[in-house]
Amino acid sequence: MSDIAIRKATVQDLKIIQDLNYQLFVHDSEFEPELNMDWPYHEGENYFKEKITEDTGVCFVVEVEGKVVGYLAGGIRRGEDWLKPKRSEIDNMFVAKGSRGRGIGKALVEEFMKWSKEQKVKRVVVNAFWGNEDSIKFYKRVGFKNYDQSLQLEL
């Protein structure tokens, strides 16, 4: 992995992060067909700017031979005062297809774990769409365990 570098994102990375996030939405639309496909370029712009420039979370990018091929965005979970351990959450992560299978996703998660420990976090959570077996297997491979199960009812 010597040609792979992970760093905190900058505002100059915003467009490529949005493009990668759009690819994530295209992928995830198989599992949630009602995704707002405009989100990466509209609401997502402010979301990623906040993760990059403010202390509400963090956004990492991964470069292979100087080209950004993936990202991870997340932060501290807010509004969970009823739980004792402070938690962080991986909000979204994506590695471009041609760069998968090289340990990049694992390296991004490890970088987020380091950041979380610096924030005095005791537990990291992530959500994956039901049926997205590849993502679920990936997160289990890097150490995540089943925690809860969300259910929904269409009205």
How do residues 79-129 score in pLDDT, each as one tens digit?
666 666 778 999 999 999 999 889 999 999 999 999 999 998 888 999 888
- Asked whether residue 151 is domain-assigned, the answer is no
Segment 8-27, tens digit of pLDDT: 999 999 999 999 999 999 99
- Asked whether residue 150 is domain-assigned, the answer is no
- Asked whether residue 154 is domain-assigned, the answer is no
- Asked whether residue 147 is domain-assigned, the answer is no
In degrees rounded to 5, what are phi and psi of residue 72?
A: -140, 130
Confirm if 74 and 89 have CB atoms less than 8 A apart.
yes
Q: Model pTM?
A: 0.89
For the domain that residue 21 is a member of, what is the CATH number? 3.40.630.30
Q: What share of the chain is helix, strand, coil (3-state, %, to 5)?
A: 40, 25, 40
The residue ranking higher by pLDDT, 151 or 48, is 48
- Asked whether residue 17 is domain-assigned, the answer is yes
Domains identified in the chain, total number: 1
Which secondary-structure segment (H or E) carries 7? strand 4-8
Alpha-carbon separation of residue 79 from 76, 84, 87, 151 (angstroms):
10, 12, 10, 20
Confirm if 73 and 48 have CB atoms less than 8 A apart.
yes
What domain range includes position 16? 4-140
